[in-house]
């Protein structure tokens, strides 16, 4: 049965597997000090236009969020996120495990609003009891958001400006970064993103890698001096760091990362139009690789034995928000098969 | 230049790479709920003779130690380890990060002594102020130890008996488990180990995998009910859990795990004999894949431009303990080359 | 200048100071094992009608909340509270410091709604991704709430029933417990409260003591076996535990705790009527010792040089919610003086 | 029965009780912002000769150690202490609870040795794997030590110099500071101590207060900017901060703190000579208020029904190290009574 459940259903992009095979018997030092990591870091710096950026490879998203946030905050500081933010909902309390509160603002289709952020901060700093409260020292946003939506360049710039005013760090969770940058609605480039935040990560797991996220501090002085030790302390240091270096080296060779992403977005737009043709409404008008059609119970019943997808949220009247995701691995044959099912709904 | 620095210098055993390639485009659920993990778990259960054992796959050693220890201890409890134990020295405080004290006992070539453990516990429980102290609720041992040495079956059984008496858990760190079980000095089988402890892990990273450690609770009721969530909270849950399942499925097919291990031990014994032939002494008489010859400054100078190895510890008189490690990947050609250098010392 | 800022502006009730003086030179063991703590525990048990209740004395409110919650939750579990709950807002992240998430529900004048709690839990347990989320294992309510309001017996019983259904603990923060129980609107007795929750504390600091909160586990088997050690680990164990024992012994002798509370409530009702007579509206119709009149800027300007009170929240139109609190220490003379100022507004 | 068990067996010095009574009905702000704390801070600054020192009042010793250490260390950093240090043994893991490792050095009658400290640091920084280890960022010493012994001025200066060289903080636990400074063997004044460390605390609980420890940062820029919030987060902020301010104001009026301490030391020297006259040996030659005579089983049996004292450590041959402590509260009558028992041994 074909699956559009998520963008991590398959293994790795073939170019990654090839590179793993090709380099397999080369002896290299551990813990990220190998030639493959060094090469990948250089390629990422070039892609960013930031020759002195600090880049570190971690294994997974929750781990990366938890390690970065804990490394950049003092013990009594907290991080602001949308109510629907991954760190606020789906990380099993990993941020709190490291001692920090996730302070939530309303989510607007997965995004926080700069005006509301500013109002919240004004309120906090004007409160006579602020010293009895968790100090907000970082803003966390996801790009794309958990609902597949995108911040515009102006929206991120506005948030950044507020962060500067209040001496807060801006952290961008890029678990699906490629799918955001490759969207036709995106008005932002990778180098521009690097200018607009203090730290972000380039998601590998969901964009063609077996695992791996590349944490980037565009300005080297922003990176915590002891970040290597902090990674180790968080259980996030791979002995065979090469596994991550090789994968990101492949992803940043010959434009692969963006090629993968563009291809997935093209396929997502085809999925979107399949539902549109049938007049099926969407929960959110997503410009990225996750699509959220609202299906009736009978539509779900009709599809569920032929194709896998996720029930995202139940709605009144026996309708449900569903999620269909494409990825680097989605094939035209899978799309054709899906189309045949949808057209018969 | 050839390297005997460690047992994680190369990628993965070819059988693993093959299996990754073969399964690459199969769509599977995430987070360890895929068919590959299920198959690997069954094979591990069979190898243990424990059909109902609970098995979980994590990514790396420090992460595994930290997650298992935190999951099995209450907040105020601590874990007893040798002074030289990995969790006591080389995990950047990962155990303390999760709130638990590592209580250290003297290490005897990397091992704790059952008699000293018992005396310590008697002293603790006889102390009028014990309620003001960290409560010892687990014993952690490494098999093989950080010095390559092995506990005998009787030694582990004695420790287990003490754990039972004091209602403590026994946790065996098996980062190099295969190299221990395959040693000619080992009087213990994998099923016997499973009988002798509450939880242990089968190291993958250092025994042929790209990454991965298989945590085993031989008796299912010993596993924390919420272990999945705890893994996630610790940043140790892979979205593409298949990466771990596929590797362990390969390692536990056709006896690969033990074949790899036996081969590495055979090569380590050849390394050992190279130094013995030259009358070079050893820091510790290690029966496993790590050998610790004591070299003079001139011997080190002679070798260091031709072969990589680790300086383990400086000794008086300009001598140093060094470490030469073999692995699944060590070739006869590398051994021949090493022999030519050593014979010329 | 007289102050109605809070209920902890003075030292201790004279009966407490007397008892401290009277017992001062008696030698007693430390850490709560003294005769005064034993006597206070017996008196509290009698007041509860729970002869086997476990009672522990801690120093302050945030400390008590943090210690109790951490002691009763496993590492990956969280606690549900109202958005306005003290643990969610004014404890500087003490709960997160111990690793636990505070999950917030809407506050209705400071209270959570049983129906909303149940809906939230149904939603959580029906969510396919619940294992990726913080597990809700406790409900925290304040009695009175941070807005001075009270749950009725039926409301607490409904919450308790839901807790039972979902195997969650119910924890009642009684920092101002006396002022709640003494309110004319309260339909609950202390023994009834003890029947309706798993753990609660009897606030001393705000009800006549220099410091001190009495944590009560009405059913002894509910108390964590190692609670003494956990108190110590949380820095909450007093060497001179007698300081707490003596104070609670005084508070629970001759009905002092409830006498103090009733007297403060009577005075609060007089304050309330002063504002009512002037037609001044209230933010919340509080039946306890905290009153929240809404004052205009000119009213605040007129009062602020003669009497101290708190600005609670700014409202549109230059109006503010203010807080006037009474306590055991409020005198008739202070009330007369306040009345003269209010009547001239 | 008279007790020499510890120095916290009674309530408070009468001057403290008087001041509590005298100030009881004065209305004051909470959380340490009252006039009494302000006055106490000024008096402490004067006593130190440090007019701009930052001073904070916390409640108890373990709490103070945990809050100061966590506030001054980054998440991945640890603190070095003697094996017998209070934070290493008798704080139920409070330091680890906040995420930090206590790294232990051998204790020499309770003290660390500057030479051993330096050697340890050289070894650490020379170790190729130091980034995989907890980073030592603070040295903790107790003055007097847990065995009643004292560092000389030169010994502390040597440790300080090493701390400066390695950019580490020096923290002095002064739970019994007065008894150290008042010892005839002490060659250090309070202002000199303030010059020699980055942070220390002046113990109140064991030197005449009901509770309370005064944390001092002699140089204001050393104090963490958010220390108030960190105190709150650690559950260490008293609502009625006046309780601490009033006590330290009394202790630092008219030389009370040192008078109390000198008197206790004089009494301890009398206790010492009682045992010396009988030829009873000591475990340690303590110059402070804790004396550690080694008693035989029959001596203990003879004393134990007439006087309370602590069994500190069992020795071979049915002998035990015992502890007899004096304090501000010890009376001549108690000493006479003790002498009559000892002289009959």
Chain A residue at shortest CA distance from C62: A132
Dihedral sign, Cα of residue C43, residue C45, residue C51, residue C56: negative
Q: Distance, in angstroms, between C47 CA and closest chain D CA? A: 26
Contacts of D among chains (3+ CB pairs under 8 A): A, B, C
Reported as a single tens digit per residue, the pLDDT across C284-342 is 999 999 999 999 999 999 999 999 999 998 899 999 999 999 999 999 999 999 999 99
Interface residue D126 vs chain A (CB under 8 A): no
Residue contact C132–A91, C-beta within 8 A:
yes
- Measured between CB atoms, which of B96, B128, B132 is closest to D99? B96
Express as a percent the part of chain D with pLDDT over 70.
100
Q: What's the pLDDT at C188?
A: 96
Chain A residues in contact with C78 by the CB 8 A cut-off are 93, 96
Q: Distance, in angstroms, between A322 CA and closest chain B CA? A: 17
Residue contact D132–B100, C-beta within 8 A:
no
Q: Is C110 helix (H, G, I), strand (E, B) or coil?
A: coil
- Measured between CB atoms, which of D205, D238, D240 is closest to C240? D205
Chain C residues in contact with B98 by the CB 8 A cut-off are 75
Interface residue D135 vs chain A (CB under 8 A): yes
Q: What's the pLDDT at C240?
A: 98
Interface residue D128 vs chain B (CB under 8 A): yes
Question: ipTM strictly over 0.95?
Answer: yes
Q: Render A268-287 in DSSP notation, one character per residue.
A: HHHHHHHHHHTT--BSS---
Residues D225-232, mean pLDDT to the nearest whole number: 97
Q: What's the pLDDT at A130?
A: 96
Per-residue pLDDT band for D285 (boundaries 50, 70, 90) equals very high
Averaged pLDDT score across all residues of chain A: 97
Per-residue pLDDT band for C183 (boundaries 50, 70, 90) equals very high
Tokens at residue D250, please? 């009394």
Residue contact A25–B242, C-beta within 8 A:
no
Closest alpha carbon to A268 in A285, A251, A250, A248: A285
Q: What's the pLDDT at D325?
A: 97
Closest alpha carbon to A50 in A160, A203, A196: A196
User: Between D242-251 and D14-22, two packed helices, what is the crossing angle to 10 degrees?
Assistant: 130
Q: Distance, in angstroms, between B44 CA and closest chain A CA? A: 22
Per-residue pLDDT band for D232 (boundaries 50, 70, 90) equals very high
Distance CA C173, CA A108 (A): 34
Residues D74-85, mean pLDDT to the nearest whole number: 97
Tokens at residue A137, please? 């020292």
Looking at chain B, list the stretches that DSSP marks H as alpha helix, in order from N- to C-terminal side.
14-23, 35-48, 61-72, 86-89, 94-97, 114-126, 153-165, 177-181, 190-196, 227-233, 242-251, 256-277, 297-303, 332-343
Residue contact B93–D102, C-beta within 8 A:
no
Computed on alpha carbons and rounded to an integer, the radius of gyration of chain B in Å comes to 21
Express as a percent the part of chain B with pLDDT over 70.
100
Q: What is the interface size between B and D, counted as CB pairs within 8 Å?
A: 56
The hierarchical CATH code for the domain C26-251 is: 3.40.640.10
Residue contact C233–B135, C-beta within 8 A:
no
Q: What is the DSSP letter of C146?
A: T
Chain D residues in contact with C243 by the CB 8 A cut-off are 11, 210-211
Per-residue pLDDT band for B246 (boundaries 50, 70, 90) equals very high
Half-sphere exposure of A110 (CA within 13 A, CB side): 20
Best mutation target, B62, B86, B96, to test chain D (most D CBs within 10 A): B96
Q: What's the pLDDT at D273?
A: 97
Closest alpha carbon to A4 in A318, A290, A340: A290
Per-residue pLDDT band for B307 (boundaries 50, 70, 90) equals very high
Chain D residues in contact with C7 by the CB 8 A cut-off are none
Interface residue D99 vs chain C (CB under 8 A): no
Residue contact B235–A329, C-beta within 8 A:
no
What does residue D185 show for φ and ψ, rounded to 5 degrees?
A: -85, -10
Please identify among residues 222-281 of chain D the ones whose CB lies closer than 8 Å to any CB of chain A.
Answer: 226, 228-230, 232-233
Residue contact C63–D92, C-beta within 8 A:
no
CATH value of D15-251 in 3.40.50.970, 3.40.640.10, 3.20.20.105, 3.40.50.2300: 3.40.640.10
Residues B146-166, mean pLDDT to the nearest whole number: 98
Q: Render B54-66 in DSSP notation, one character per residue.
A: EEEEES-HHHHHH
Averaged pLDDT score across all residues of chain C: 97
Chain D residues in contact with C329 by the CB 8 A cut-off are 25
* Displacement of CA B152 from its chain's centroid (Å): 16
**Long-range CB contacts for residues C222-226, cutoff 8 Å, separation at least 24:** C222/C54, C222/C169, C222/C198, C223/C54, C223/C199, C224/B74, C224/C71, C224/C72, C226/B74, C226/B76, C226/B131, C226/B135
Tokens at residue A4, please? 């559009």
- Measured between CB atoms, which of B11, B94, B233 is closest to A24? B11
Q: Render B237-294 in DSSP notation, one character per residue.
A: --TTTHHHHHHHHHHTSTTHHHHHHHHHHHHHHHHHHHHHHTT--BSS---SSEE-BE
Q: What's the pLDDT at C283?
A: 95
Q: Distance, in angstroms, between D228 CA and closest chain A CA? A: 7
Contact C138, C77 (CB under 8 A): yes
**CATH T-level fold of B14-251:** 3.40.640
Interface residue C133 vs chain A (CB under 8 A): yes
Q: Is D281 helix (H, G, I), strand (E, B) or coil?
A: coil
Interface residue D124 vs chain A (CB under 8 A): no
Token pair 């609190």 is found at: C325
Residue contact C311–A76, C-beta within 8 A:
no
Contacts of B among chains (3+ CB pairs under 8 A): A, C, D
Per-residue pLDDT band for B189 (boundaries 50, 70, 90) equals very high
Interface residue A61 vs chain B (CB under 8 A): yes
Residues C7-26, mean pLDDT to the nearest whole number: 98
Per-residue pLDDT band for C270 (boundaries 50, 70, 90) equals very high
The hierarchical CATH code for the domain A2-7+256-343 is: 3.90.1150.10
Interface residue C99 vs chain A (CB under 8 A): yes
Interface residue B282 vs chain C (CB under 8 A): no
Q: What's the pLDDT at D267?
A: 97
Per-residue pLDDT band for D136 (boundaries 50, 70, 90) equals very high
Express as a percent the part of chain A with pLDDT over 90.
99
Averaged pLDDT score across all residues of chain D: 97
Q: What is the DSSP letter of B134?
A: P
Q: What's the pLDDT at D219?
A: 98
Per-residue pLDDT band for D12 (boundaries 50, 70, 90) equals very high
Domain-wise residue ranges, chain C: 2-7+256-343, 26-251
Q: What's the pLDDT at B244?
A: 98
Interface residue C129 vs chain A (CB under 8 A): yes
Reported as a single tens digit per residue, the pLDDT across C217-262 is 999 999 999 999 999 999 999 999 999 999 999 999 999 999 999 9
């Amino acid at each position: 049965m074909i699956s559009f459940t998520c963008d991590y259903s398959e293994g790795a992009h073939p170019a990654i597997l090839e590179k793993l095979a090709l380099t397999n018997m080369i002896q290299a030092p551990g813990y990220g000090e190998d030639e493959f990591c060094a090469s990948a870091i250089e390629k990422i710096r070039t892609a960013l236009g930031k020759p002195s950026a600090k880049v570190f490879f971690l294994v997974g998203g929750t781990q990366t969020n938890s390690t970065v946030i804990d490394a950049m905050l003092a013990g009594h500081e907290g991080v602001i996120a949308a109510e629907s933010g991954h760190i606020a909902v789906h990380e099993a309390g990993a941020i709190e495990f490291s001692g920090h509160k996730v302070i939530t603002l309303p989510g607007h289709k997965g995004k926080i609003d700069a005006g509301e952020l500013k109002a919240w901060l004004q309120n906090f700093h004007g409160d006579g009891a602020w010293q009895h409260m968790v100090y907000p020292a970082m803003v966390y946003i996801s790009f794309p958001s958990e609902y597949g939506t995108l911040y515009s360049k102006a929206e991120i710039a506005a948030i950044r400006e507020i962060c500067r005013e209040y001496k807060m760090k801006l952290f961008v969770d890029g678990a699906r970064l490629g799918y955001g940058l490759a969207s036709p609605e995106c008005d932002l480039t990778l180098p521009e993103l690097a200018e607009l935040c203090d730290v972000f990560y380039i998601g590998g797991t969901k964009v063609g890698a077996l695992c791996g996220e590349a944490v980037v501090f565009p300005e080297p002085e922003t990176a915590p001096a002891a970040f290597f030790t902090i990674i180790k302390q968080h259980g996030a240091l791979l002995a065979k760091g090469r596994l991550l270096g090789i994968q990101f080296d492949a992803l940043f060779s010959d434009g692969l990362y963006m090629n993968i992403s563009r291809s997935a977005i093209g396929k997502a737009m085809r999925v979107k139009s399949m539902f549109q043709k049938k007049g099926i409404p969407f929960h959110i008008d997503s410009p990225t690789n996750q699509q959220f059609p609202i299906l009736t119970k009978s539509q779900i019943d009709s599809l569920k034995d032929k194709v896998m997808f996720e029930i995202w949220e139940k709605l009144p009247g026996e309708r449900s928000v569903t999620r269909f995701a494409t990825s680097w691995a989605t094939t035209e044959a899978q799309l054709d098969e899906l189309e045949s099912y949808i057209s018969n709904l």
